[in-house]
C-alpha cells in the first residue's frame, strides 16, 4: 500500500510514529513560516505541518505548490497539535512531513469540494466524480452500502437464497413501458429489460426455492419526472408455503433490523391499516403516520342549513390543526390558495377557529349558529386553540385534496421531522382499478396478485370492489415496498387475464410459460419488493433519491457525464437490421 494509515486514523496514542499517508489536498493554510495542509481521504482528514527552518526548504516549496485536490503521498512523524480541533477525529495530532511525493496534480475543480458547494446541479452531474468526493454525497453511498449488507445479513439469516434472474428478458404489454434490446442474431426480435423479476421469482417458487431474494436493477421507460430514474434498484423477495401474515412478519422484521443496525433505532412493531381505512382517515394509501390529524367527517351535521357548497356535497370532511386557531386572515388565505392550486384542485376551504378565548369563528358563520358550529368542534374533539379545516365535494376527490392539506399542515407544524420514523402496513388493497384512458380495469398491483376468495363473487358484478391479498409498507408517508400473495393456479390466472382484457391467445403468448408452470405443482407463494433507492433516501432523511445513486441520470434520462444515450455507428445499426426514422 502507498500508505501505512488512512487520513482518519491517527490519534494521540500514535504520537512519534513514523507514518505514510496518501490523499487529496483539502486546503492549505500558509502563514509564511508555517504551512498546513489538510489531507483528505474517504476515512477523514489529517493535518500536515511544514515549518520553515525545520522542514527541508525544497520540500517546503513543493508542498506550497500543491494546490487543492492534488494527490499527495507524505511520510512524516505524528506530533501533538498545539491548537486542537475537536471537530475531527484526528484533531489532536498532525503529521510533521519529512518526505512528499505528488502522486498527481489537479486542475482547479469546477466547484468547491466542500460539504456546502458552490456548484449547481448540472455542473455537479457533469463532474459527478468530483461531486462524489464531497462528504455528504460519499456518506449517502456508504449508507447505501450498509443498507445492502444489512439487508443481506437479515435475509441470509432467514434462509433466503440470493438468485440472479436474467436482465435480457421478454417485452410484455402490461405495466409500464419496457426498454428493449434489439437482437443482432435474430433480426426483428428484441429482448426487454425487466421492470421487475416478477415472473422469474414466481418460477423459483415453483422450483421449490422457497425463499428467494435479490438486490436487483430494474428498468422502466416511463415519461420522466423529477426524481424518477429509468434504472432503479429493488430488494426483491418471494416466499412459498406462507400466508400473508408470514410475509408481513418477515419483512417487518427486515425493516426493523435495518433501523436497528443501520440507524441504531428500535422501531416499534409496525401497525396495519386497511386500505379502505387509510383512504377514509388520511385520503391516501400511504399516510404519513408521524402525526395524527386524522380526517373527521361531518357531512350529516352540515346538511339542511342552506350553505350551498355543503348542501350539494357528498362528503364534508376536515382535519383539526391543533394550536392554529389564531392564524391570521392572511395565513388562512394562503391555505385556501394552496388547496385551490391545480395540483390539489379544491374549490375552496372552510375553516372554523376555536379561539383560545373559547369563541368560535368560521367562514360560514352566516349559515350556522354557534351551537351548530360547537357540535362540529365536538365531533373533532377540538379544544380552544384548534383550527378546523374543511373541504367538501365528491368523496374520493375531496379526501385526496384533504390529504394534501393535511401534509401541508403537518409540515407547517413541524410534525414531519426527517429524523423521526413511522412505519405502517397498508393491507387489503383493491385488486383492480379503473383506468379512464383505456376504459378498462387494470391490475392495481400486478396481474399475478390473488384476489380475496371471499370477494371473488364480485369480479363480474362489481370488479372495483374486489379486494386483493396485497400490501404496501409505508414509511413517513412514502411507499417503500409492496407485494402480494400470488395466484398459483392456471384457472385463476386465466380468469385474471380475462378481466384485464387479455384474449386467451395474448395471455398464452405473453405468460404461457407461467401458466404452464402452475400446472406442474406450484406451491402457494407471495412476496414483496422494496424500492431500495427510496428506502435509502428515507434512512438518509433526504427527499431526493438521486444522491443515493452513484451515477444517476438527469430528468431527461441522460447521463451528462458520459453523454449517454448517444448515436451509434451505421455499422452497428446495420448489424441490427435497424433504421432510424428521422
- Please, which residue, 251 or 307, has the CB nearer to its own copies? 251
Confirm or reject binding of residue 561 to its own copies (CB under 8 A): yes
HSE, side-chain direction, 13 A CA sphere, residue 438: 11
Region of 87-95, 263-271, 346-354, 560-568 interacting with its own copies (CB under 8 A): 560-568
> Which residue in the set 19, 24, 151, 354 belongs to the binding site for its own copies (CB under 8 A)?
24
Between 200 and 471, CB nearer to its own copies? 200
Q: Which of 445, 452, 429 has the alpha carbon at shortest distance from 500?
A: 445
SS3 468: strand
- What is the footprint of its own copies within residues 220-239 (CB under 8 A)? 221, 224, 230-231, 233
Stretch that binds its own copies, among 140-148, 392-400, 471-479, 498-506 (CB under 8 A): 140-148
CB 161 within 8 A of CB 213: yes
Q: Rule CB under 8 A: is residue 578 a binding residue for its own copies?
A: yes
Contacts to its own copies from residues 52-91, by CB under 8 A: 69-71, 73
Asked if 145 is part of the footprint of its own copies (rule: CB under 8 A), the reply reads yes
The answer to whether 221 is a known ligand-binding residue is yes
Contact (CB, 8 A) for 286 and 292 = no
Collapsing DSSP to helix, strand or coil, 50 comes out as: strand
List binders of its own copies among 298-357 (CB under 8 A).
Answer: none
Q: Output the DSSP codes for 36-79.
A: EEEEEETTEEEEEEEEBTTB-HHHHHHHHT--TT-EEEEEEEEE
Q: Which residues contact 330 (CB under 8 A, 6 or more apart)?
A: none
Minimum separation from the CB atom of position 261 to its own copies (A):
13
Nearer of residues 190 and 338 to its own copies, judged by Cβ:
190
Q: Across the chain, which distance is largest between two alpha carbons, in Å?
A: 94
- Taking CB under 8 A as the criterion, the residue among 171, 478, 544, 554 binding its own copies is 171
At 138 the three-state DSSP class reads helix
Q: Which of 138, 260, 290, 400 binds its own copies (CB under 8 A)?
A: 138
Among positions 322, 406, 488, 546, the unique one binding its own copies when judged by CB under 8 A: 488
Contact call for residue 242 and its own copies (CB under 8 A): yes
In this chain, which of 19, 93, 100, 206 binds its own copies, going by CB under 8 A? Answer: 206
User: What is the distance between the alpha carbons of residues 346 and 508, in angstroms, rounded to a whole number?
Assistant: 45
C-alpha cell at 256: 426493523
- Is residue 462 a known part of a binding site? no
Residue 33: CB atoms within 10 Å: 11
Asked if residue 532 belongs to a known ligand binding site, the reply is: yes
**Residue choice 54, 129, 396, 504 for contact with its own copies (CB under 8 A):** 129
334: its cell numbers: 394562503
At 394, give phi and psi (nearest 5°): -65, 140
Asked if residue 303 lies in contact with residue 440, where contact means CB atoms within 8 angstroms, the answer is: no
CB of 233 to its own copies, least distance (A): 6
Q: What span, in angstroms and rounded, lies between the C-alpha atoms of 543 and 104?
A: 36
Residue 456 in 3-state DSSP?
helix
385 among annotated binding-site residues? no
**With CB under 8 A as the contact rule, which of the stretches 158-166, 284-292, 362-370, 390-398 interacts with its own copies?**
158-166
Beta bridge partners of 79: 94
Would you list the DSSP string of 185-203?
SSTT-EEE--S-SHHHHHH
Q: How far is 568 from 561, CA to CA, in rounded Å?
A: 17
Q: CB of 348 within 8 A of CB of 340? A: yes
Question: By CB under 8 A, is residue 156 in contact with its own copies?
Answer: yes
533 annotated as ligand-binding = yes
Residue 307, number of CB atoms within 10 A of its CB: 18
Q: Does 203 bind its own copies (CB under 8 A)?
A: yes
Question: Contact 2/72 with Cβ under 8 angstroms?
Answer: no
**Per CB under 8 A, 30 contacts its own copies:** no
Tell me how far apart the alpha carbons of residues 564 and 555 are, in angstroms, rounded to a whole number: 13
254 lies in the site for its own copies, by CB under 8 A: no
Of 386 and 533, the one with the shorter C-beta distance to its own copies is 533
Among 36, 111, 179, 274, binds its own copies (CB under 8 A): 179
- Sole residue written with cell 483539502: 26
Site for its own copies in 510-539 (CB under 8 A): 513, 516-524
Please count the residues of this chain forming the interface with its own copies, following the rule CB under 8 A: 121
Q: Among residues 187 and 303, whose Cβ is nearest to its own copies?
A: 187
- 252 annotated as ligand-binding: no
Which H or E element spans position 379? helix 370-379
CA–CA separation, 108 and 121 (whole Å): 18
Is residue 445 annotated as involved in ligand binding? yes
CB of 432 to its own copies, least distance (A): 24
Is 222 annotated in a binding site? The answer is: yes
Residue 127 engages its own copies in binding (rule: CB under 8 A): yes
Which residues have C-beta within 8 Å of that of residue 339, sequence separation ≥ 6?
Answer: 346, 348, 349, 391, 401, 404, 405
Q: Does 500 bind its own copies (CB under 8 A)?
A: no
**Nearer residue to its own copies within complex by CB, 303 or 509:** 509
113 vs 281 by CB, closer to its own copies: 113
Which CA distances in Å does 389 have to 284, 293, 456? 17, 11, 39
Give the x/- contact pattern for its own copies in 430-469, rule: CB under 8 A. ----------------------------------------
DSSP category for residue 266: -
Q: Which of 217, 400, 412, 452 binds its own copies (CB under 8 A)?
A: 217
- Selected binder of its own copies within 152, 280, 374, 442 (CB under 8 A): 152
Determine which residue in the list 57, 58, 82, 185 makes contact with its own copies, applying CB under 8 A: 185
With CB under 8 A as the contact rule, the residue among 59, 148, 344, 500 that binds its own copies is 148
Tell whether 467 is in a known binding site: no
Strand pairing class (350-354; 360-362): antiparallel
Nearer to its own copies, 170 or 290 (CB): 170
Q: Which is nearer to its own copies, 73 or 336 (CB)?
A: 73
φ, ψ for residue 83, nearest 5 deg: -105, 110
Asked whether 556 and 224 are in contact (CB, 8 A), the reply is yes
Angle formed at CA 292 by CA 287 and CA 295, multiple of 5 degrees: 75
In the annotated binding site for L-aspartate, the residues are 174, 220, 445, 486
In the annotated binding site, the residues are 174, 220-222, 229, 445, 479, 486, 531-534
In the annotated binding site for ATP, the residues are 220-222, 229, 479, 531-534
Amino acid at each position: 500500500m502507498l500508505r501505512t494509515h488512512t487520513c482518519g486514523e491517527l490519534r494521540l496514542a500514535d504520537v512519534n510514529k513514523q507514518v505514510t499517508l496518501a490523499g487529496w489536498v483539502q486546503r492549505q493554510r500558509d502563514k509564511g513560516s508555517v504551512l498546513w495542509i489538510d489531507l483528505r481521504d474517504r476515512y477523514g482528514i489529517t493535518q500536515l505541518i511544514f515549518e520553515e527552518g525545520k522542514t527541508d526548504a525544497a520540500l517546503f516549496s513543493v508542498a506550497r505548490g500543491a494546490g487543492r485536490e492534488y494527490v499527495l503521498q507524505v511520510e512524516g512523524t505524528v506530533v501533538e497539535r498545539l491548537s486542537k480541533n475537536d471537530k475531527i477525529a484526528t484533531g489532536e495530532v498532525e503529521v510533521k512531513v519529512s518526505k512528499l511525493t505528488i502522486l498527481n496534480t489537479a486542475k482547479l475543480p469546477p466547484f468547491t469540494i466542500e460539504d456546502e458547494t458552490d456548484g449547481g446541479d448540472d455542473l455537479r452531474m457533469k463532474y459527478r466524480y468530483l461531486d462524489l468526493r464531497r462528504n455528504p454525497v460519499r456518506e449517502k453511498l456508504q449508507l447505501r452500502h450498509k443498507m445492502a449488507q444489512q439487508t443481506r445479513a437479515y435475509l441470509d439469516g432467514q434462509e433466503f437464497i440470493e438468485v440472479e434472474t436474467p436482465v435480457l428478458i421478454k417485452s410484455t404489454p402490461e405495466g409500464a413501458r419496457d426498454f428493449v434490446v434489439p437482437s443482432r442474431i435474430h433480426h426483428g426480435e428484441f429482448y426487454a429489460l425487466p421492470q421487475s423479476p416478477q415472473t422469474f421469482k414466481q418460477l423459483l417458487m415453483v422450483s421449490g426455492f422457497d425463499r428467494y431474494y435479490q438486490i436487483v436493477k430494474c428498468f422502466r421507460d416511463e415519461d420522466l419526472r423529477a426524481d424518477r430514474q429509468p434504472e432503479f434498484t429493488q430488494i426483491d423477495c418471494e416466499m412459498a408455503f406462507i400466508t400473508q401474515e408470514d410475509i408481513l412478519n418477515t419483512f417487518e422484521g427486515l425493516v426493523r433490523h435495518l433501523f436497528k443496525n443501520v440507524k441504531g433505532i428500535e422501531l416499534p412493531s409496525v401497525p396495519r391499516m386497511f386500505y379502505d381505512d387509510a383512504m377514509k382517515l388520511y385520503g391516501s394509501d400511504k399516510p404519513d403516520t408521524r402525526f395524527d390529524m386524522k380526517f373527521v367527517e361531518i357531512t350529516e351535521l352540515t346538511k339542511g342549513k342552506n350553505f350551498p357548497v355543503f348542501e350539494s356535497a357528498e362528503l364534508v370532511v376536515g382535519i383539526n390543526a391543533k394550536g392554529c386557531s389564531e392564524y391570521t386572515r392572511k395565513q388562512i388565505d394562503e391555505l385556501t390558495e394552496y388547496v385551490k392550486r391545480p395540483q390539489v384542485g379544491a374549490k375552496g376551504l372552510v375553516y372554523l377557529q376555536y379561539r383560545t378565548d373559547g369563541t368560535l369563528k368560521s367562514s360560514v358563520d352566516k349559515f350556522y349558529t354557534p351551537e351548530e358550529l360547537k357540535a362540529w368542534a365536538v365531533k373533532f374533539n377540538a379544544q380552544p386553540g384548534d383550527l378546523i379545516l374543511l373541504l367538501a365535494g365528491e368523496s374520493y376527490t375531496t379526501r385526496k385534496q384533504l390529504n394534501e392539506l393535511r401534509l401541508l399542515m403537518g409540515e407547517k407544524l413541524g410534525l414531519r421531522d426527517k429524523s423521526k420514523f413511522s412505519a405502517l402496513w397498508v393491507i387489503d388493497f383493491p385488486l383492480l382499478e379503473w383506468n379512464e384512458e383505456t376504459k378498462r380495469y387494470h391490475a392495481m398491483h400486478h396481474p399475478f396478485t390473488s384476489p380475496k376468495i371471499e370477494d371473488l363473487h364480485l369480479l363480474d358484478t362489481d370488479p372495483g370492489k374486489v379486494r386483493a391479498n396485497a400490501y404496501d409498507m409505508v414509511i413517513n408517508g412514502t411507499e417503500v415496498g409492496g407485494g402480494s400473495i400470488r395466484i398459483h393456479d392456471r384457472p385463476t390466472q386465466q380468469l385474471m387475464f380475462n378481466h384485464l382484457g387479455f384474449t386467451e391467445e395474448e395471455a398464452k403468448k405473453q405468460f404461457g410459460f407461467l401458466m404452464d408452470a402452475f400446472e406442474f405443482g406450484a406451491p402457494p407463494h407471495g412476496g414483496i419488493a422494496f424500492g431500495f433507492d427510496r428506502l435509502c433516501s428515507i434512512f438518509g432523511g433526504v427527499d431526493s433519491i438521486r444522491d443515493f445513486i452513484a451515477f444517476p441520470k438527469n430528468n431527461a434520462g441522460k447521463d451528462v457525464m458520459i453523454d449517454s444515450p448517444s448515436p451509434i455507428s451505421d455499422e452497428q445499426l446495420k448489424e441490427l437490421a435497424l433504421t432510424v426514422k428521422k
